[in-house]
């Protein structure tokens, strides 16, 4: 199916180097720079069709059945596994952009404004994922901008939700687009391309996984923002899968599948830009198949943890501590104030609950902060670390292969 579409084109544009920056550029870098550069002219895709090979179509059919089965299973659980998987998805998506932080610090960042910077950025990704999933109605340009705003502006910057007004590029040096791996279209073209992308998303004759994959690759090709394009695009994958009825209960960690082989993911986007839309569909199918494995492993581990906790707790039925495990699945680092508000109890009752949870071993005080201020669930954090980290994901893949 290579060459199913034309490859993207390019246009020659003038380049003016900043004279204030030139003295700081090495002679080698200066020799690579010229008075012009080549920027991409992507295809308009609103009316383009995609033909998948028979073998891939069969894989997609089987995948859709597996996704429906896993999604339905979540209705049977008494705790919010989807919230935990969304947290894993956000961390894995951020790692693709080389943003890393511990699962504990990311959870801490959601309730503590002084958490480490990278953790705050990943917490912004969690907020963007939630924004994408809660977005009502069809996917339009305004919704794309809102998700980007949620992702970026959490950390005090102001360009979130704004289309870029300058040239950007991927790879190469920070001084000019010469030698870059990819130079997206000039900014004046971005708005029209996003309108075209929204029209593509509104079509009802494109299979859902194919639609999600191509939408994502086209957004990456347009690169409408100064920063956060990849994370915004991966959040939108979940919006499309939800809108298309593929997943209604759960958020699968599909970025874990992409993180497992980032080079293949980037190669698939490059192949898409060369006229092979099937490549990115195959990549998304691979990612979703692995995401089901990761999700299933997570569910099994969390079922075991929750059952152990239930067996330990001896308080009377109806006591607030029985609601604690469900809260920790969603937010594995908590404070007295957070639990009081979340459970609708007094601070004194919250303190007693936390003390009792520490006696059970469900919680423990964080050792690197003022004692007693924050508490974490070691067992849930450990599960999150495994399903959010590239080495943990590779161990899961290796375990699957050995079955």
Beta partners for 334?
375
250 and 398 housed in the same domain: no
Query: End of a domain among 251, 273, 295?
Result: 295
Per the domain annotation, does 1 fall within a domain? no
218 and 320 housed in the same domain: no
172 and 314 housed in the same domain: no
239 and 342 housed in the same domain: no
Per the domain annotation, does 80 fall within a domain? yes
- How confident is the model over 331-369, as pLDDT tens digits? 999 999 999 999 999 999 999 999 999 999 999 998 654
211 and 257 housed in the same domain: yes
Query: Which run of H or E residues covers position 65?
Result: helix 54-73
What's residue 403's pLDDT? 46
**Helix pair angle (229-243, 141-152), 10° resolution:** 130
Domain assignment of residue 340, given as a range: 303-402
242 and 313 housed in the same domain: no
What's residue 130's pLDDT? 85
335 and 218 housed in the same domain: no
Overall number of domains in the chain: 2
* Residues 18/174, Cβ–Cβ less than 8 Å: no
277 and 308 housed in the same domain: no
What's residue 397's pLDDT? 63
Per the domain annotation, does 4 fall within a domain? no
59 and 136 housed in the same domain: yes
Locus of tokens 């039925």: 317
Per the domain annotation, does 270 fall within a domain? yes
123 and 197 housed in the same domain: yes
315 and 246 housed in the same domain: no
Locus of tokens 């308009």: 44
Per the domain annotation, does 360 fall within a domain? yes
Q: Is 331 helix (H, G, I), strand (E, B) or coil?
A: coil
Report the candidate in 61, 62, 66, 81 with the shortest Cα–Cα distance to residue 250.
81
Beta partners for 383?
none
Per the domain annotation, does 336 fall within a domain? yes
What's residue 2's pLDDT? 58
User: Dihedral angle at the C-alpha atoms of 272, 274, 276, 281, nearest 10 degrees?
Assistant: -10
Per the domain annotation, does 46 fall within a domain? yes
Residue 231: which CATH number? 1.10.3290.10
Per the domain annotation, does 2 fall within a domain? no
334 and 242 housed in the same domain: no
Q: Is 10 helix (H, G, I), strand (E, B) or coil?
A: strand
Query: End of a domain among 272, 295, 318?
Result: 295
Residue 393: which CATH number? 1.10.10.10
* Residues 67/246, Cβ–Cβ less than 8 Å: yes
Query: End of a domain among 295, 311, 344?
Result: 295
Residues of the chain with confidence (pLDDT) below 70 = 1-2, 22-24, 155, 367-372, 389-394, 396-403
What's residue 373's pLDDT? 87
């Amino acid at each position: 199916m290579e060459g199913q579409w034309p490859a993207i084109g390019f246009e020659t544009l003038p380049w003016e180097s900043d004279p204030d920056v030139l003295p700081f550029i090495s002679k080698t870098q200066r020799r690579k720079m010229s008075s012009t550069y080549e920027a991409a002219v992507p295809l308009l895709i609103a009316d383009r069709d995609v033909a998948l090979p028979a073998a891939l179509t069969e894989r997609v059919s089987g995948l859709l059945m597996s996704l429906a089965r896993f999604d339905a299973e979540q209705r049977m659980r008494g705790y919010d596994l989807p919230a935990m998987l969304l947290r894993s998805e956000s961390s894995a998506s951020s790692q693709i952009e080389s943003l890393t932080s511990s699962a504990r610090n990311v959870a801490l960042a959601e309730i503590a404004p002084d958490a480490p910077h990278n953790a705050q950025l990943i917490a912004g990704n969690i907020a963007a994922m939630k924004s994408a999933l809660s977005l009502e109605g069809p996917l339009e340009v305004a919704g794309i901008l809102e998700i980007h705003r949620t992702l970026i502006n959490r950390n005090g910057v102001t360009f979130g939700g704004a289309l870029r007004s300058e040239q950007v590029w991927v790879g190469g040096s920070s001084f000019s687009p010469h030698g870059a791996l990819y130079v997206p279209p000039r900014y004046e073209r971005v708005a029209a391309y996003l309108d075209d992308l929204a029209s593509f998303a509104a079509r009802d004759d494109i299979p859902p996984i194919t639609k999600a994959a191509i939408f994502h690759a086209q957004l990456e090709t347009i690169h409408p923002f100064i920063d956060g394009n990849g994370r915004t695009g991966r959040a939108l994958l979940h919006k499309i899968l939800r809108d298309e009825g593929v997943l209604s209960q759960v958020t699968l960690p599909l970025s874990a599948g992409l993180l497992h082989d980032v080079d293949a993911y980037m190669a698939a986007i490059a192949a898409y830009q060369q006229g092979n839309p099937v490549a990115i569909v195959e990549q998304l199918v691979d990612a979703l198949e692995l995401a089901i494995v990761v999700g299933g492993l997570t569910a099994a581990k969390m079922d075991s943890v929750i059952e152990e906790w239930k067996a330990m707790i001896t308080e009377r039925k109806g006591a607030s501590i029985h609601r604690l495990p469900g809260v920790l699945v969603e937010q594995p680092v908590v404070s007295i104030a957070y639990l009081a508000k979340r459970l609708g109890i007094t601070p004194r009752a919250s303190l007693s609950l936390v003390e009792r949870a520490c006696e059970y071993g469900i919680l423990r005080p964080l050792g690197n902060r003022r004692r007693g201020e924050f508490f974490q669930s070691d067992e849930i954090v450990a599960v999150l670390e495994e399903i959010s980290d590239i080495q943990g994901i590779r161990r899961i893949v290796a375990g699957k292969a050995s079955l």
